[in-house]
Amino acid sequence: MRSLHQHKRRRVRSLSFATLLSAGLAGSYSLAHAQQEQGNDGGKKAATSIGQVQDVVVTTGVRGEQRTVADSPAPIDVINGEQLQHTGRAELSEALARLLPSFNFGTNIAGVNSVIRPVSNRGLGPAYTLVLVNGKRRHNSALLTNGGGDSSGVNAVDLDTIPLSAVDHIEVLKDSAAAQYGSDAVAGVVNVVLKTASHGGSFSVDYGSLYGGNGNLENRKVAGDIGFELSNDGFIHFSADARKRGQSWWNLPATNTNVYSPASNPKNANWNRDGAHNGDPGVEAYNIAYNAELPLKKGITLYSFATAGTSNVVSGNNFRRPNGLATISQIYPDGYFALNNASSYDFQVTAGAKGKSDGWNWDLSSGYGKNHVRQYSNLTINPSLGPASPTSFDELATFQFEQWTTNADFTKAFSLGLAKPVQLSWGLEQRSERFSTYAGDPLGYINGGYIFKPGDQAGNPNVGSPASVGAQGAIALAPQDAANIRRNVQAAYADAGFYPTDKWFVDLAVRGEHYDDSAGNTISGKLNSRYDLTPQIAVRGTVGSGFRAPSLTQIGYAQTDNRTNINPVTGAVGPSLSKLLLNDSPLARALGAQDLKPEKSVNFGLGVVLKPADNLNITLDAYQVTIKDRIIRTGYLFGPALSPLLQSHGLTGSEWVQYFANGVDTRTRGLDLVADTATDFGRLGVVRWNAALNWNRTDITSIKATPAQLNGLGANPGGSLTWFGYSAGGGIGELTSSQPRTKLILGGRWLVRDFDVNLQATRYDSYLWRTTPTLSYKFGAKWITDLDVTYALTKSIKLTVGAANLFDVRPDKNGPGDASTGASSFYYGPSPFAPTGGFYYAKATYEF
């Protein structure tokens, strides 16, 4: 709704020396030089200024009156662009996870599902955190989440389409705000604020490499930004980056000598036990952005901002061995690693006007965003077509998401005899969403019916057997899977902030939303308050309700794919022809599916703000979020009891099927502790210390009863009819135990003379991977160390060397493993940090 960023042309004082850097290292002199120019007490002045980190002005979470982090009624973090640049290899989404203890970054390394990686906040998936740019809603991606700690099927916002060089700072509201900003702000709000400088800029070149692994370990990036002044003190700021990340993998040698035995195929005698190329996808991406304001007469200001980008991604897959059902020896006599390729473009443009009339500050805006992804393959086959199969497919599936949002927001201060004026805000929103999928080349999904013949493979291991169906390592959509779903949402909100006394602030917000589909109507409310007991101690709290409509992907996405999975009954790893059913399809209804209902949430928060000294700040915030009718992906349903039903709907009877359903009620409880201070060491410089801890736990308070349709299928030996239980790709374990219970970040930033040294240690608690009701795998706690050193060579040139995961720490290899492939994902489990190991880099920056 209303813009959270008032577009003030200011540089925010960062939580980690942004002010000092902009006047020091970013220019011609360092902290030590600044001390010399200020006199003998210059260091003390600098240290004091740095210590007052809570003076950062923010607008997220409150309306009208500007506030700082220190006097915010809700917990909020501010991450400035300089901090983001110190995260090394990371793009924007991973950078946030490295800097914030309540964020975890999904490390999905499973082929096609590696393109969009979900970010969880406070133990809740990406569906529950609203993303804004300059206070305006960001559009979603077209791909759904299916791994990396989230298989809920939502289409998360792809933060990596925003160039880091465009970001001035990011405001992260760690509090439910559905009643203020929209139904998907259950866990909080991320507001990306773009640069506003009307002059100057920067240009940087990065090069880095992983410490170990296979494939292309290198990473390259160039980035830049520049600002220009417009008339009437306006500005336009351009930013761009180009990056290339090599495709790499770090799997274990396969150990299953039976499937690769020379007896079944002589070519296996020369196999090097390289069974999988699952890992980091190769990425080539280009992103641009601009941010502009143009003041006119009578106090009216026009503004506009936009981002646009394109990318090409290549993901690896398991080895198709020479004696397998997926290899045609006339095409690939030695087997092959199928590739999944994706080409995408993304853009969002917003334009608006703001001003003041009759005491009302108003803001009118409209924005349109689109994400388009085409999946194809440069190396694969559809084995069922036999030797006539193509080896590349230009189009296997296409996904597209569009969003058009229009806002009108108004705010005014009224003097009603209270300690301070009452701030009244209200507004309207119209949002249109559309999700579309398009079928690909029929040769990618049809069953050609090929039967292996003598001479097709060395040793003739599969004569008389049907070949595998579909382009390997890919998702290929058939016409019956195609979707075209639209939804319109109208919303209205009102928000009143007032002071009953000069030390007590109260904010009341209410929001109504109308969805023109089955989600229907909803009203959400929020009460937020803060009381300053003394200048050094304040308490704050929140009570609110929320509402999240089913994502369009959860309503209208279907797919069929042929992948390796963990059997939820036996725990064994093996191939599975799996199918995600449309919720309203005849087959899904025959298995008990019902129309998806909106999720409803209630949240509570209680915190304390402490300032024991001028340069020491401590916040402690507890929270609880309960979600009713949470949408989940059912367990895989398969086996002999299900085969007749599958066959009656045109399938082979061997498929593993699942669908989305309102399956569980959950309760998430947690605690955020943040502390920061600064120490002046005189001629040895100033050190900014910070510590942050998140404790989080999610429990399932209720599981919906298994549908009668499944209970009536009878005995199912060797199969599974568990509607929702433990499974490797989701289920109870994913919601309750796959994320670490605690995450601790300890950091220090030391500025001395021409040097800027940044050291951070992050501890991820242990986590469990539950794959069946009786099998679980525990992974121990790990410390990850990041270090970078920057030297100011001249006024304009800085050189940086650094390491992300300095000591090359990897997750424990405690998973069930896959002896046939050695794929690390089956050993490392749902790791909360990237299992790629150490990454070492160098960077040169020119600022002008």
**DSSP code of residue 385:** G
Residue 323 — very low, low, confident or very high, per pLDDT cuts 50/70/90? confident
Residue 38 — very low, low, confident or very high, per pLDDT cuts 50/70/90? very low
Question: Contact at 8 Å (CB) between 114 and 108?
Answer: yes
User: Quick one: pLDDT at residue 829?
Assistant: 84
What is the mean pLDDT of the segment spanning 88-98? 79
Question: Contact at 8 Å (CB) between 151 and 734?
Answer: yes
Condensed to tens digits (0 to 9), the pLDDT of residues 265-304 reads: 777 777 788 888 988 889 999 999 999 999 998 899 999 9
**DSSP code of residue 140:** P
Strand runs labelled E in 317-421: 319-320, 336-337, 340-357, 360-377, 393-414
Adjacent-strand bridge partners of 489: 431, 515
Name which residue leads in pLDDT, 67 or 593.
593
| Of 360, 362, 238, the residue nearest 304 (C-alpha) | 238
Q: At a CB cut-off of 8 Å and minimum separation 6, what does 526 contact?
A: 176, 177, 178, 179, 180, 507, 508, 509, 510, 542, 543, 544, 545
What is the mean pLDDT of the segment spanning 567-594? 81
User: Quick one: pLDDT at residue 50?
Assistant: 39
| Of 46, 35, 112, 6, the residue nearest 562 (C-alpha) | 112
Strand, coil or helix: 565: strand
Mean pLDDT of the chain: 86
Distance CA 678, CA 47 (A): 6
User: Quick one: pLDDT at residue 66?
Assistant: 64
Residue 62 — very low, low, confident or very high, per pLDDT cuts 50/70/90? low
| Of 635, 625, 701, 632, the residue nearest 663 (C-alpha) | 632
Query: What is the secondary structure of 426-447 as a DSSP string?
Result: EEEEEEEEEEEEEE--GGGT--
User: Can you say how many angstroms the Cα of residue 820 is from the centroid of all Cα atoms in its chain?
Assistant: 31
What are residue 231's phi and psi, to 5 degrees?
-65, 160
Burial-class residue 331 by CB neighbours within 10 Å (0-12, 13-18, 19+): middle
**Radius of gyration of the chain measured on its C-alpha atoms:** 27
Query: What is the secondary structure of 519-550 as a DSSP string?
Result: T-EEEEEEEEEEEEEETTEEEEEEEEEEEEPP
User: Can you say how many angstroms the Cα of residue 792 is from the centroid of all Cα atoms in its chain?
Assistant: 33
Condensed to tens digits (0 to 9), the pLDDT of residues 525-546 reads: 999 999 999 999 999 999 999 9
Question: Contact at 8 Å (CB) between 274 and 253?
Answer: yes
Domains of the chain: 18-847 (2.40.170.20)
Q: Which of 143-157, 316-330, 701-715, 751-765 has the lowest mean pLDDT?
A: 143-157
Neighbours of 720 (CB within 10 A): 21
Does the pLDDT at position 752 exceed 80? yes
Token pair 């897959």: residue: 317
Distance CA 464, CA 450 (A): 10
Percent of the chain at pLDDT > 70 equals 88
Question: Contact at 8 Å (CB) between 801 and 819?
Answer: no
Condensed to tens digits (0 to 9), the pLDDT of residues 352-401 reads: 999 999 999 999 999 999 999 999 999 999 999 999 999 999 999 999 99
Give the dihedral sign, CA 120/121/124/128: negative
Name which residue leads in pLDDT, 544 or 57.
544
User: Can you say how many angstroms the Cα of residue 164 is from the centroid of all Cα atoms in its chain?
Assistant: 15
Token pair 């799997």: residue: 251
Strand, coil or helix: 696: strand
| Of 54, 43, 81, 82, the residue nearest 758 (C-alpha) | 82
